[in-house]
């Protein structure tokens, strides 16, 4: 986290933030020209989420709107669960009892977050493998090209 928020990295990621703001302003201009109403709060949250996720993971949340909505719901569920009163936290002999089912609900939310995180990690690994395969192919082609040049060069 320190590296992500360091001066050098923030300066390096400035184009990402500028692009996010540019897309936001283009969207708002398009809606204004069309005379459409816009939920500005929702759009600002989406802008923030997209910029932060692009800085951290290299992709925006809104590439897949269903996934973005699922993450928003999970964050909301987590905030609601952590803000609720839990009797077993205050009465020592109820400590191991999950009377209102908070632990079960938190485990479900955590498991869903883990699924999304695993999917993102797999996508990054696949992209890295594809890039590596292309680089290997380019090296092989360049070797063949060098061999071809040596074979066809006048002696």
pLDDT for residue 32 = 92
Residue 91 or 128, more confident: 128
- pLDDT score of 81: 77
More confident residue, 129 or 96: 129
Angle at 121 between CA 18 and CA 70, to 5 degrees: 70
**Residue 103's Cα: distance from chain center in Å?**
26
Average pLDDT over residues 60-74: 68
Residue owning tokens 């809606």: 31
Average pLDDT over residues 93-120: 79
| Mean pLDDT across the chain | 79
Confidence of residue 145 (pLDDT cuts 50, 70, 90): confident
- pLDDT at position 99 is 65
pTM: 0.52
pLDDT at 144: 76
User: Residue range 24-52: average pLDDT?
Assistant: 88
Give mean pLDDT, residues 13-32. Answer: 90
Report, as an integer, the average pLDDT of 101-120: 83
Look at residue 30 and tell me whether its pLDDT is greater than 70.
Answer: yes
Neighbours of 46 (CB within 10 A): 20
pLDDT band, residue 37 (cuts 50/70/90): very high
Q: Which residues contact 9 (CB under 8 A, 6 or more apart)?
A: 3
């Amino acid at each position: 986290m320190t590296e992500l928020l360091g001066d050098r990295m923030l300066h390096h990621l400035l184009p990402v933030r500028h692009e996010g703001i540019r897309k936001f302003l283009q969207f708002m201009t398009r809606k204004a020209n069309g005379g459409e109403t816009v939920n500005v709060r929702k759009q600002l949250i989406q802008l923030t989420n997209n910029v932060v996720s692009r800085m951290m993971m290299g992709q925006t949340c809104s590439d897949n709107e269903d996934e973005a909505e699922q993450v928003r719901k999970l964050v909301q569920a987590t905030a609601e669960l952590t803000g609720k009163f839990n009797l077993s936290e205050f009465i020592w002999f109820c400590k191991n009892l999950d009377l209102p089912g908070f632990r079960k609900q938190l485990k479900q939310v955590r498991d869903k977050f883990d699924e999304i995180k695993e999917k993102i990690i797999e996508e990054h690994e696949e992209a890295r493998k594809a890039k590596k395969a292309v680089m290997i192919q380019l090296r092989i082609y360049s070797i063949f090209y060098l061999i071809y040049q040596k074979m066809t060069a006048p002696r």
